[in-house]
A and B are shown apart, each in its own frame.
Chain A
């Protein structure tokens, strides 16, 4: 008798739960899709690019969220660059579009992306300085 009741209850609750989970999932998706700007907060990244077999002058470089760029520029004749832009509520990465061999920075939380084309920057970054980024 108790088991029957349980089964009844479950079968009645399941569709509701499904709806709920679907709803909450869609809400979550909507929230996570947006990479909104954070007002009154800015980010600044600077450093120097050196290359093994080409000139480091005029290499396009940008700061990106996973959806869109927040700052874009090119390296100067000595390979140095500085990028400033609005802060975004999302992981920001420094995209070089060239294979990065190694880099050195004062911030510990930076790490190379799987494809080696960009460097993931720390979550709560404000200012990151790269003393050197070596590309192929």
Chain B
């Protein structure tokens, strides 16, 4: 974990130093809504949490981003999800970005990427935690507004779809699909700081 963080910070510094790139740092509120027919939709409530994004645009409006977020929820149905408490969803993902300028102030963005998720639940009976690891393919879009008087600051709203696929497995196909796959609608609303903007 430390190695990865070091790598990321080193990478960030590398990008800061280059002149043409447009790096930005964002902080946002996350709302994760499980949809479809699966155990997350039936077993837990919506997740709410916070996220950090680092995004940089290179030439031709293309770039990439890294997102870290953690969201918290409650168990809705014990018989489906299990007798567990306060599940939390941790997400680390990386994605490619295409940023399309609509007007001077408004920007539209498309994202495609991959994420690693960990769904960790506490227990009322023991100190031990229960974790389900998952990978997620993600498709996202974003609309952002740059303040004309303070071009460093941008507000954005970004709905994304996560195709959640966990390591949990069952031999029976329907059961396997029900307990390991989910479609997560991820809504991010936040504030972004354009670091190289003058």
Instruction: Evaluate contact between B83 and A84: CB separation under 8 angstroms.
Output: no
A34 CB contacts on chain B under 8 angstroms: 126, 128
Instruction: Evaluate contact between B79 and A71: CB separation under 8 angstroms.
Output: yes
- A59: interface (CB < 8 Å): no
A40 to B171, CA, bound (A): 14
A84 to B175, CA, bound (A): 10
- B101: interface (CB < 8 Å): no
Other than A39-B133, A86-B121, give 9 A-B pairs with Cβ distance below 8 A.
A36-B128, A39-B132, A62-B83, A71-B78, A83-B79, A84-B79, A85-B81, A85-B82, A86-B84
Q: Which of B111-158 contact A (CB under 8 A)?
A: 121, 123-126, 128-133
- B172: interface (CB < 8 Å): yes
Instruction: Evaluate contact between B171 and A69: CB separation under 8 angstroms.
Output: no
**Residues of A in contact with B (beta carbons under 8 Å apart):** 34-37, 39-42, 44, 62, 67-74, 81-86, 126-127
- Chain A interface main SS type: strand
Instruction: Evaluate contact between A84 and B130: CB separation under 8 angstroms.
Output: no
Could you say which interface size class chain B belongs to?
A: 20 to 34
Contact of A36 among B39, B126, B170 (CB under 8 A): B126
Instruction: Evaluate contact between B121 and A67: CB separation under 8 angstroms.
Output: no
B80 CB contacts on chain A under 8 angstroms: 82, 84
A110 to B124, CA, bound (A): 28
CB distance from B122 to the nearest CB of A (A): 11
A42 to B179, CA, bound (A): 8
